[in-house]
Amino acid sequence: MASPLLTIMPNANRGSTGFQSNEFDQEYDRPSKSQRKRDMLALQDLGAELISQPKDRIVRVPMPEDVRDAILECKEIRDHEGKRRQLQYVGKKMRSLEETEIAAIREILDSWKGHSKAATAGLHALEKQRARLLENDDALTELRVRHPQLDVQHLRTLVRNARREQAEGKPPKAYREIFQVLKSLSGESDDVADPELTEQDEHDNED
């Protein structure tokens, strides 16, 4: 015996009390909970990146004053738990920014990264040149050809003193001065610092 045909009756309530199609579309278009969490963490990371910058850079970044104050305050906190809480607060303040403000901040940070890479490359080039001066007397002659304004006698004395410092285990005073001379000749900015000097400064700060 054939099965009776099932009659599907229209739901009279559909469209009146049910889930409207446009409501479904709106719900579907909303970011998922996991996406919102990723966005929140990304903004907190952006805030942490700002915190890691020197204060004189932070004050130049266009942002609302309350956001900048939260970032600067976080820089001053040394307590681990206190810093963690303040970082979360910075993330909350970052979420109050407009997309255009966030984009502007990212653009500035990206430009600083590019500058830092260039400074690092300049640093390595100067270090290599200083090493050649200490290892080979011909390096001084080559440097004089490229830079006629060079005070050859002064640099030769520095090289001789730096070699003596290394042989006798003395503080690298002349060694550092050579770096400054080379930096002046190359036209590098002040962002390019002698690593020997930087390491000593960090040690002094710890003391």
Nearest one of 67, 195, 45 to 131, comparing CA atoms:
195
The CATH number linked to 75 is: 1.10.60
In terms of domains, do 123 and 157 share one? yes
pLDDT digits (tens, 9 = 90+) for 136-195: 999 999 999 999 999 999 999 999 999 999 999 989 999 999 999 998 887 754 444 444
In terms of domains, do 134 and 183 share one? yes
* Domain count along the chain: 2
- Low-confidence winner among 7-16, 28-37, 80-89, 122-131 (lowest mean pLDDT): 7-16
Q: What is the pTM of this model?
A: 0.44
Position 192: which residue type?
V
- What domain range includes position 82? 35-97
Position 135: which residue type?
E
User: What Rg, from alpha-carbon coordinates, does the chain have?
Assistant: 31
In terms of domains, do 128 and 194 share one? yes
CB within 8 A of 93, min separation 6: which ones? 47, 66, 67, 70
In terms of domains, do 90 and 124 share one? no
pLDDT digits (tens, 9 = 90+) for 67-110: 999 999 999 999 999 999 999 999 999 999 999 999 888 888 88
Structural domain contains residue 19: no
